[in-house]
Structure formats: C-alpha cells, structure tokens
Chain A
Amino acid sequence: MSEPIIRICELEKKFQSKNSEVYALQGINLDINQGDVFGIIGRSGAGKSTLVRCINMLERPTGGQVLFEGRDLCKLGDSELRKARRSMGMIFQQFNLLMQRTAIENVCFPLELVGTPREEARKRAAELLELVGLADRAGSYPSQLSGGQKQRVAIARALATNPKVLLCDEATSALDPSTTESILSLIKDINRRLGITAVIITHEMSVIEKICTHVAIISGGKIAETGPVEEVFYHPKTEAARIMVTPEALKPEKLPKERVVRIVFHGSSSLEPVIGNMILDCGKPLSILYSDIREMDGAAFGQMVLQLPDDEDACRRIYAFAKSRGLELEDMSRV
C-alpha cells in the first residue's frame, strides 16, 4: 500500500488552564489513505473536533506530528502552511459562509486569495456550483439559502482550490435527516468522482455507516479503535468502542436471555430473502429482535438479532442453513 496521505503520529494537544493541564488529545496515531472516506466518531467533548482542527493546524498540536503527503505540518512556517492548507478544503457545522457575499462570490473567495484572475475565478466557481447542484442560486446571499444549500455552497468553496483532502467538521449536524442524506451522498460522490480523500467528524453512527470506508472511535482524547467500518462497528474489540457502537436496543438488559443470536451481513447478496428462507427451512417461526440492514449495490450490510425457536432440531437446521449462506450466527445468550 502506498504512503498514507495523512499520517498522525503521537499527536498531543494540551490546554493550559490556570493551575492544571488538560489533555484534549493524547497519543493519537492514525493513517488516512488516499481515497478513503475516513470517519472519526466520538461523543461531544471526546476531542474529535480538536483532532480535525489539528490536521490543518487551526489548532496547534502541543506534541507529535501531522504528516500531510510526508511533510510535517507542525514544522512549516506561516506562508508554507498557508500553501498546504489550500490542499485541504474544510467545511463546518455552521457553514461559515461570508454573509455579505453571494453564493458565487463565496466560491470565488479562496480563488481570490491565491490571485486567480476574476473572470477565471467566476468560471471555475460557476462550474463548482453546477457540481453541487446550485447553479441556479449563484446570485443568492447565504441568508436566502436553506441550511442544505449553504452547506453545498461551502462544499463548492472548499473544492475551489482543488484540494486533495476534504475535512468535514460535523458538517451535517445542523441539518435535518433528509438534507443530511443528500449532503452525505454529495460528499461520497465527490470522493468517488474527484478522488478526494474525506475526513468526516461526527457524533452520529448513521453518518459513518452511510459513507465511510474507515472509522476511528475517539474517546477521552484517545483513539479507542480504528479500522474498516464493518470491522469496528460489528466486531468492536475494545470496551470504549463497544459502548459507542452498540445501538440502544442491543444493550444486554434490553434483550431476552435465551437463544439470542446475531447475524452480521458483510455484503452477502441482498437478492435472497435469507431470513424468510431460514424460517421455511426450519419450519419454525423465529422473532426478529433488532435489524439494521442497508443495501448497497445489491449487497446487504448491517446486523440483525434473532431469537431462535425453543426446539433443538430447528436450531440445528438454522445454524446449518446460515453456514450454507456464508453467514455466521453469534450467540448472545446470557445463560
């Protein structure tokens, strides 16, 4: 595998208050590869925003390294850092658009900063607004746009300087679910079409599930666990990660004690009605306690929790059936 585009080594951020030191981040190690959609999830106060702001030095780390394409950003002088920042677009929860400029002037802003001639900047900005689906609102001021539209303008603005990385700091947290969905697909689309690496900070599992390839769980200023999304979400190895990724309905006290199994779908075909066939095959009903399955390109991802029938023979057949479909049943009973 090639060199990661962003490598974070032993990153530390310490805040000095009057008579105590608070570590916002400690011993952070992360590799983000070119083309990844990398999610960083944590509760509020876990340090995830500080972490993303350390990536482009909006927040100066107090220790460790942030390597961007092999260069340590912590060591760059002001003007070199400004240059490096142009390779990293950033979008924010509150959009942070210039309120006194129209949509297209906002997109022109980063181009003005690098001295692009006005005509050329306008042309590029118009293309970008087209890309985010807002060509018809070019002359509108932010106050005339909805939250989702503002975020689209912000995305267009972040892309103006052809960045290699897009940093998203809680970019969908101020939006309603359906707008969130459309902004996420836009980010995914940009990632696919332009090959831009995305780093997504969020407190919502669903955001990660929807578009991320990799995820890091941050808790108390440290990385609890990191890896591909399917692995971390369905087979968390650490306690902190388990607490973070376990849905409320799957907390042990909420489930029955006996004959509870979990099936994790890692992309098996979604064409076959697996559970239906399973029931037909064993001839006994079983109950679905929890299900969170998404379909992507004809494959199923997610997990389902079942309670098996009180019949040993039927259970055997269910296990055999699952095995034949390449699915693993994980026993969650507590007896």
Chain B
Amino acid sequence: MFDEQMIEMLCEGVIDTLYMTIASTVLSYVFGMIMGVLLVICRKDGIAPRPMVYACLDVVVNLTRSFPFLILMIAVIPFTRFVVGTTIGNNATIVPLVIAAAPFVARLIEASLLEVDAGVVEAAQSMGASTWQIISKVLLPEALPSLLNGSAVAAITILGYSAMSGAVGGGGLGKLAIMYGYNRYQTDIMFITIILLIIIVQLFQMLGNWATKRSDKRVF
C-alpha cells in the first residue's frame, strides 16, 4: 500500500498543512497583535485608557472565541468566497483560520504584555516616553520571550484547526485522515497522519521553547 503515489500524497499533505498553519499563524499575529496591544493599552489602568475601545474589543474577542471552529468555518463561507473566490483548498481554509485564531492570539499577546512589570512602564513614562515608544521599546521587547512561547501555542492550536478543516473542503493531513482513514476505513493511513501531526506539533513546541529560552535575558 505504500506505493509511490501514497508517499507523494502524504508529502503533499504535510506541505499543505505546514503552509496553512504557518500562513494563518503569521496573518493571525498581524491582526492579533493589533488587538492584543489595544487591549493592553486601553484598559482602565493601561497607558492610554480608553474604556469604550477596551469594552468593544473585549466583546468581539469573546464572541469570536465562543464559536466552535467547524461552525465558524461554515458560517463565514460567503466571506471566504468573497476574499479568495472559492471555498475549498488551502487558501480558502486560511480565511476562517485567521478569523478564529486572531482573537485567540490577541488574548495570548494581552496576557504576555500584562506580565511586563508595571514599574518598568512607569520608569519609561518618567523618562518622557510616548505611548508608541512604550509599546515598541518597552512592552514588546520586554515580553518577547513570553510572546515567542505563546506563538508556539498559537501555531499548534491553528494546526489543530487546520486538520478539522479537512472535513469541509480544506486540504492537508486533515483531509487525508478524513478521506482515507474515516471514509475508506484505511486505518494505516489514519495512523500515519496522526504520527506526522505529532511530529509537527513536537517540532513547533521545540522551536518555540528554544526561541523563548534564547531570547530571555533574565535567567542564566
């Protein structure tokens, strides 16, 4: 059964999965970063308090996060078609992945930035730092190890979502597992996709741990 065709298909699955995961993670960070930073600076005791902005963002993030991914994916089909022109394939999967993951990433970033010692932020203020300077020179660099750690968590979660998308037109390892493992009862293929997914998760986590440790100057 492990003919050339099968191996080729598995390779393609791995590449597709990595493509969807990495592209979605990057895009989620673009939007999540903006939301996460806003959540931190706009809160009541933040450096630029805007209670209304905070309240709205908080609700949006919570709402999006309450959707189970599979349902969200189906619900945003019209939007997906509008953005990429189709609802099946890798690119079409990235749209709901980003919509689902960006609020999650925002929360991760919010938590990381809140770990930064308020005293350090205050010291920067006492030196005449502007809001933007505090974000770019204090909050983000000081939280970098925690942000990197969070990015591994985010990538692994997105990987899991991407596998689910195989059920409704997405590609990658999830599609293989559902098509062959579930619909055609090919347990061996199911098994191999699971192994491959485990390996990818391990790699992400190891990379995340390594980057976190390397970037952190606090522990020696």
- 23 inter-chain pairs at a CB distance below 8 angstroms, sorted by A residue, are A56-B126, A58-B125, A78-B130, A79-B130, A86-B128, A94-B117, A96-B120, A98-B142, A99-B117, A100-B141, A100-B142, A100-B144, A100-B218, A101-B141, A102-B217, A109-B124, A113-B127, A113-B128, A113-B129, A113-B137, A141-B218, A143-B218, A143-B220
Q: Which residue of A lies closest to B219 (CB)?
A: A143
List A73-96 residues whose CB lies under 8 Å from chain B: 78-79, 81-86, 88-90, 92, 94, 96
A161 located at the interface, meaning its Cβ lies under 8 Å from any Cβ of chain B in the complex? yes
Q: Give the residue of A85, A114, A143, A167 whose beta carbon is less than 8 angstroms from that of B217.
A: A143
A112 located at the interface, meaning its Cβ lies under 8 Å from any Cβ of chain B in the complex? yes
Residues of A in contact (CB 8 Å), total 35
1/0 per residue, CB under 8 A from A, across B194-220: the answer is 000000000000000000000111111
Q: How far is the CA of A98 from the CA of B128 in the complex (A)?
A: 15
Q: How far is the CA of A81 from the CA of B130 in the complex (A)?
A: 10
**Are A86's CB and B120's CB within 8 A?**
no
**Are B119's CB and A96's CB within 8 A?**
yes
**Are B142's CB and A96's CB within 8 A?**
no
- How far apart are B101's CB and chain A's nearest CB, in angstroms? 26
Instruction: Please indicate the chain A residues that have their CB under 8 angstroms from the CB of B129 in the complex.
Output: 82, 113
Q: How far is the CA of A143 from the CA of B142 in the complex (A)?
A: 13
Instruction: Please indicate the chain A residues that have their CB under 8 angstroms from the CB of B128 in the complex.
Output: 81-86, 110, 113-114, 161
Instruction: Please indicate the chain B residues that have their CB under 8 angstroms from the CB of A199 in the complex.
Output: none
List B108-142 residues whose CB lies under 8 Å from chain A: 117, 119-120, 122-130, 133, 137-138, 141-142
**Are B117's CB and A86's CB within 8 A?**
no
- Check A99/B127 contact, CB under 8 A, given A58-B122, A92-B119, A113-B133: no
Shortest 10 CB-CB contacts between residues of A and residues of B: A96-B123, A82-B128, A85-B128, A90-B126, A96-B119, A141-B217, A110-B127, A86-B128, A143-B218, A96-B120
Residue of B123, B125, B137, B138 contacting most chain A CB atoms (<10 Å): B123
**Are A92's CB and B123's CB within 8 A?**
yes
Instruction: Please indicate the chain B residues that have their CB under 8 angstroms from the CB of A277 in the complex.
Output: none
**Are A86's CB and B220's CB within 8 A?**
no
1/0 per residue, CB under 8 A from B, across A282-305: the answer is 000000000000000000000000
A144 located at the interface, meaning its Cβ lies under 8 Å from any Cβ of chain B in the complex? yes
**Are B138's CB and A98's CB within 8 A?**
yes
- Check A99/B123 contact, CB under 8 A, given A82-B130, A144-B220: no
Instruction: Please indicate the chain B residues that have their CB under 8 angstroms from the CB of A157 in the complex.
Output: 127
Instruction: Please indicate the chain B residues that have their CB under 8 angstroms from the CB of A88 in the complex.
Output: 126
